[in-house]
Amino acid sequence: MYFSDLGVIALYLALGFALFTIVAAVLGVIYQRPMLVESTRRSVLTVTFFMLLAVAALLASFLTHDFGVAYVAEQSSRAMPWYFTAAAFYGGQDGSLLYWAFMLAVFSAIFVFSSRRAPKAMVPYILATLMGIETFFVLVLVSVSNPFARSVVSPADGVGLNPLLMDPGMLLHPPLLLMGFMSFSVPFAFAVAALITGQLNADWLRAIRRWSLASWTIQSAGLLLGAWWAYHVLGWGGYWSWDPVENAALLPWLTMTAFLHSTMVQERRGMLKVWNLFLVIASFALSIFGTFEVRSGVISSVHSFAYSNIGAYYFAFLVIVILFSSGLFAFRFPRLQAEQEFDSVLSREGVFLLNNLLLVGMTFATLWGTVFPLITAFFIKQTETVGPPFYDQVMAPLTVVLIVAMGVGPLLAWRRTSVASLWRNLCVPALMAAACALILPLFGVTNVIANIGFSVCAFTAMAMLYELWRGMRVRHSHGEFYVVALYQLFNRYRRRYGGYIVHLGLVLLVVGIIGSSYFQQQRDSVALNAGQDMTIAGYRLTFLGNINVQDVDKQTEIAQLQIWYDGQLVKYIYPGRVVYNNYPSQPTSLISINTFNAADLYVFLSDWNGSSQATISVFYNPLVPFVWDGGILMIIGGICCWWPERHRTAASQRKRVVAPGSSVSGEKSEKQKVHGGVTV
Amino acid sequence: MMGARARGSIGSYWRPLCIVLATVLIMVAVWFWLAFVMPRHETLDQRVRDVASQLRCPVCQGESVEDSSASIAQQMRSVIREQLQQGRSEQEVIQYFASRYGEQNIVWAPPWHGFSILAWLVPMTLLLGGAFLLLFVVRDWLRRSYFPSSQSESREPAEIPERSNEQHDDGAWEIYRAQVEKELAAEDVLFQPNVMEGS
């Protein structure tokens, strides 16, 4: 008996228990058998256990180098270090599917443990939906894409991981991104349950708030790591190329961002019910579409590590998901007509509507650009490519408007804002933007688009910081020191101020994108001999020679260069190339990235000849470090919003009981309205 | 006294409006100047990069001629440089490559003619359509909530006294403070002013 046999058995058992959960949950609710409904919780945990067992079995097969398992032989070799051998787990399609199904089971288990907080009637349907998705994945795993399938003869050594994947990024980016894709299932399950039970008030939204924040944050982290990986591995000096697979990961992120904003409108005002359901379902459908696209290879992409014939299965699943949710929509539509109460366009909810329009517009444009090659291939029999210039031209104006809206939004109150107070609050940020527009040309930023972009970013950043400052002053006037006041703002109003951090991070990220796309410089050297040099942006690079390192499984060619600036030796750098013996045609790069004052000097060894000749490509990328800083800030903000606030709710509920009459805010009456007026 | 207050309220309304309008004017002027008046100092390098970024590297996966380090991309960059030095326009150079490699293989953005114009038109139309739809829906909502809003108004706590403030900036500041406190209080009962004073 091999570990792989154990894995197969575990998969079949998980499949059985997943099917049982669906049947038991639905029957238990219909025939009102509490015992049956209760049993579904246990069976979900059982599914999780068996998935854990399957994962452990595959991991054990990898670590014991059981090359009789075809997948292990394809993805790993004896020469690989143990951490890459373990990471090869999700290096190919079969393993990444198993990982996906496993994470879904883990999230389902977490839901089971936290299900006391979810509306009670919805729980069985949520579990049934989650296990429905799980069933699909396990079914694919045991039928067409079995990672435990054994080959007839077991080879002495495996092929090894694709060299592009042999990188520290491999340890983090794929698991996070796959987890992000998977995590959209939980809000989707809630949406399905809300539609089936007809409990379409704000309760289910409150219950998924933290789930959707978690998916958003995980997906953001996955996207950011992907960009960083591309930047330091691929050698073209950029971090985002609008590749179909990158787009696929961006699409659900965009709709989830839209949802996180529009959900606040429903929580506060009871509006946009249908829209919120649509966004949640669309996020899930887009995440399945993304996987379909990655795995089927219908659209060519740099991520072509794992093509296969399971595209058809995904497509069928996608169709089922869309039909099922549209059917539920049609079934519940009469109940979804809430009376809308909208006081003024000049309000927080007004800006959120604009935000949603823009984000959904971006989603559609990206989706359209991604599938356009297919459309042309179908209608005019020739594949028209859609590349970065298209996306840049479509997304840039939308992003500019989005950032302006981001700056104006926090200045507006819910319900309505007087025009006078809006002008007053706009003064400081607008002055900042004008100052930015005036000063930048003096420093040589003469590109008009870059100037518009930077000014808009200055406006929004100032609006955020000013808002933060005023919040601090309010608390300060209650007798708190400024530092304490700042801490208390974040401690107490996490959602609000965490959101500001995310916005500031996005502004920083956009500044980085503008900087690197309008002010990048590039030089290719001719073949340099030892002692020759090249210059870029004031830096002089002197080539000294090549070092060749032979390993068991690879050989590494490293060029040695000096960076000089202003007549001073700054540092030695060692860009290089690695050629793995199993993949001689795919040399990977060791790129030397040197950050000087918010700009990267990106040095890439493009060719070499013996020990004394090399061809070097150098990119000077201004402001790229801001992309990473901004991204990290966004993730911190996301975690800040997500972080549980058990203390506060308990304390404030106690207070609410003690002093029910003390409420002077309009918010309370509004909340009651949401509870009372919109409940169906 | 009344006169001063009236002047104050007018001042507190118009001054910020003028400042915002002035800043917008300044920005538009700067951008106009940068876009149309300022002579272009584009170096040959920048022009080569502009053209190269529009072209797709024929042998790579998803890389432009600008970014790719493949030898054919390097050759193409030097061809672009030569042609620009000979005085051809950027469009002519792109046309040159399009006629050699076929437009759909090498030009990266879909062209503005033929079937591929749909790549541009469909998202734009849908976005505009969405904007109009939103506009109509919002107008509908506003009209519908016009009548019941009079009831909800009375249930609302007294609106913050928006106009009756002093001339100082402190007045505006007080109003804003009241608004922030109201919003914060909505999220946290502990922070309501009377609760704090009572405890």
Which of B17, B123, B192 is closest, CB to CB, to A664? B192
Residue A373: inside a domain: yes
Query: Is there a contact between A495 and B69 if contact means CB atoms under 8 Å apart?
Result: no
Statement to judge: residues A306 and A174 lie in one domain = yes
- Contacts for B43-51: CB closer than 8 Å, 24+ residues apart: B44/B81, B44/B84, B44/B85, B45/A521, B47/B84, B47/B90, B48/B77, B48/B80, B48/B81, B48/B84, B49/A520, B49/A522, B50/B90, B51/B80, B51/B84, B51/B90, B51/B93, B51/B94
Which residue type, as a one-letter code, is found at position A521? Q
C-alpha to C-alpha distances, B4 to A418, A420, B13, B68, nearest whole angstrom: 22, 18, 14, 69
The residue-averaged pLDDT of A108-131 equals 91
Residue A136: inside a domain: yes
Half-sphere exposure of A70 (CA within 13 A, CB side): 10
Residue A101: inside a domain: yes
Hey, is the C-beta of A369 within 8 angstroms of any chain B C-beta? Answer: yes
Statement to judge: residues A285 and A300 lie in one domain = yes
Residue A68: inside a domain: yes
Residue A469: inside a domain: yes
Under the banding of pLDDT at 50, 70 and 90, the label for residue B167 is very low
Statement to judge: residues A486 and A561 lie in one domain = no
pLDDT at B8: 47
Q: For residue B179, list chain A residues with Cβ-Cβ distance below 8 A.
A: 413, 421
pLDDT at A305: 52
Predicted confidence (pLDDT) per residue in A179-211, tens digit: 999 999 999 999 999 999 988 877 888 888 889
CATH number, position A107: 1.20.120
What is the number of residues in chain B? 199
Q: Is the pLDDT of residue A555 over 50?
A: yes
Q: For residue A470, list chain B residues with Cβ-Cβ distance below 8 A.
A: 176-177, 180
Q: What is the mean pLDDT of chain B?
A: 72
Residues 250-309 of A with CB under 8 A from B: 300-302, 304
The residue-averaged pLDDT of A394-413 equals 91
Q: For residue B168, list chain A residues with Cβ-Cβ distance below 8 A.
A: none
Which of B115, B145, B184 is closest, CB to CB, to A343? B145
User: What share of chain A in percent tops pLDDT 90?
Assistant: 46
Residue A190 burial by Cβ neighbours in a 10 Å radius (0-12, 13-18, 19+): buried
Q: Is the pLDDT of residue B168 over 80?
A: no
Residue A457: inside a domain: yes
Among A58-72, A256-270, A541-555, A665-679, the range scoring the smallest mean pLDDT is: A665-679
End-to-end Cα, chain A, rounded Å:
56
The residue-averaged pLDDT of A619-646 equals 91
The residue-averaged pLDDT of A371-384 equals 82
Half-sphere exposure of A341 (CA within 13 A, CB side): 19
Statement to judge: residues A329 and A187 lie in one domain = yes
Q: How, if at all, do strands A521-524 and A533-536 pair?
A: unpaired
Half-sphere exposure of B27 (CA within 13 A, CB side): 25
Strand partners, A533: A542
Predicted confidence (pLDDT) per residue in A611-632, tens digit: 888 988 899 999 999 999 999 9
pLDDT at A308: 60
Hey, is the C-beta of A663 within 8 angstroms of any chain B C-beta? Answer: yes
The residue-averaged pLDDT of A49-65 equals 95
Statement to judge: residues A139 and A253 lie in one domain = no
Statement to judge: residues A479 and A570 lie in one domain = no
Statement to judge: residues A1 and A124 lie in one domain = yes
Q: Cα separation of A463 and B45, whole Å?
A: 37
The residue-averaged pLDDT of A459-463 equals 94
The residue-averaged pLDDT of B31-42 equals 80
Q: Cα separation of A655 and B195, whole Å?
A: 9
Statement to judge: residues A252 and A324 lie in one domain = yes
pLDDT at B84: 87
Q: Is the pLDDT of residue A650 over 50?
A: no
Statement to judge: residues A7 and A86 lie in one domain = yes
Specify the pTM.
Answer: 0.86
Statement to judge: residues A444 and A315 lie in one domain = no
The residue-averaged pLDDT of A406-418 equals 84
Distance of CA A73 to the CA centre of its chain: 31
Predicted confidence (pLDDT) per residue in A213-257, tens digit: 999 999 999 999 999 998 988 878 889 988 888 899 999 999 999
CB B181, CB A375: distance < 8 Å: no
User: What share of chain B in percent tops pLDDT 90?
Assistant: 10
Q: Is the pLDDT of residue B152 over 50?
A: no
Residue A670: inside a domain: no
Predicted confidence (pLDDT) per residue in A99-115, tens digit: 999 999 999 999 999 88
Hey, is the C-beta of A365 within 8 angstroms of any chain B C-beta? Answer: yes
- What domain count does chain A have? 4
Single out the residue in A115, A132, A159 at which a domain terminates.
A159
pLDDT at A304: 55
**Three-state DSSP class for A542?**
strand
Query: Is there a contact between A237 and B53 if contact means CB atoms under 8 Å apart?
Result: no
Residues 517-536 of A with CB under 8 A from B: 520-522, 524
Predicted confidence (pLDDT) per residue in A259-294, tens digit: 999 998 888 877 888 888 999 999 999 999 888 777
Statement to judge: residues A294 and A265 lie in one domain = yes
C-alpha to C-alpha distances, B123 to A391, A393, A650, B128, nearest whole angstrom: 11, 12, 47, 9
The closest alpha carbon to A290, from A324, A247, A351, belongs to: A247
The closest alpha carbon to A368, from A271, A244, A487, belongs to: A244
**Which residue range is the domain that position A588 belongs to?**
521-622
Distance from CA of B127 to the nearest CA of A (A): 6
Statement to judge: residues A280 and A145 lie in one domain = no
Query: Is there a contact between A386 and B110 if contact means CB atoms under 8 Å apart?
Result: yes
Query: Is there a contact between A665 and B35 if contact means CB atoms under 8 Å apart?
Result: no
**Three-state DSSP class for A584?**
strand
ipTM tops 0.90: no
Residue A657: inside a domain: no
